[in-house]
A and B are shown apart, each in its own frame.
Chain A
Amino acid sequence: MPPDLTGLVVAARAGDRLAFDELVEATYADMYTLAYRLTGDEEDARDVLQDAYLRAYRGLPRFRGDAQFTTWMYRITANCAATHVGKRARAQHDQLDDETAIADVQPSHDPELRAAAAFDRECVASAVQQLPPRLRAVIVLRDIYDLPHDAIAAELGISEAAAKVRLHRARRRLRERLFPLRADQADNEDSDAHAV
């Protein structure tokens, strides 16, 4: 049975360090998963988690409790991950370009096999990991963790409109990748034939 996070949050806000440790213990695997999905690297995820919980500990007096503790932590983790990925990219002179090609990690190039495996969870998770970081961040936060657009925009330091544009691009990339056969077939069709 999961521990009572609300009670722990109240105790931690009152200065109970052990209560905060329990909050960490109850939520860190979930936050680690998010951090890993956003950074794509175990070491980076570990660093992001350390920053995130430290920031949460220091910011706990400002946590009003009108959101769930986990949602608040998702936002902090997303913000720390965005900072971390940005620093790493600058250090490596990476191009955080939305148009970066997606590497093909599939063992098979057989379209039928790929289509059959398309909706295996691992396959989708793997396709998400292959997205460029800027697209990956919005689709992870919106479609997996269900954060609202305004929260995503705020934590990534972009406008809400930009967040939506990136989300649509990310969804399109994933669909094209996971349904290559149908996309290829569709390309052969004359789209104007369906014009209303």
Chain B
Amino acid sequence: MPGEQGTWVFLLGDMVVFGAFFATFLVERSKNPDLSDTSRKTLHVGVGLANTLVLLASSLFVVLAIGAVRVGARSIATNAVVAAMVCGLIFIALKVFEYRSAVMVGHGPGANHFYLYYFVLTGLHLFHVCVGILVLSFLLTQTRRTEFSTTRMAIVEGGACFWHLVDLLWVVLFPLLYLVS
């Protein structure tokens, strides 16, 4: 099992909490589907797609990093973690662009319930991205190690799984917010 038991309690718990948020969002938007759909169409769907691809690329870099750590390919592991962090920073930059664009045309969190949920859900996810980058920073301090105890390797694997959780949550958020009419 990658990571430790406690890590999985946290990861699965986070998935369930976000699942409840997703369900609440669908219930809320069903109360005023026309307004929700009109609002949805104002989002930058191309930016949402780009962010999805950026996070998928970052996940592949993290898979590469873990594989490299396991065989002692320290340089590859380091470069892969750095690449994943750059992907995370690109995600944040694109999200800030989206937020700024929305607020500038009067589509802030107070505009209607759709935008409120959009900002809350993507904001919570963005918080996860920021924590994820901190976790990747920790992984970066580990990639130069020559030996890993079982516990240390479990912590590194757990950190990688957290980053994959960030990807997993966005993979659900993207269609819910940008694609489902």
A interacts with B? no
Residues of A within 8 A of B (CB): none
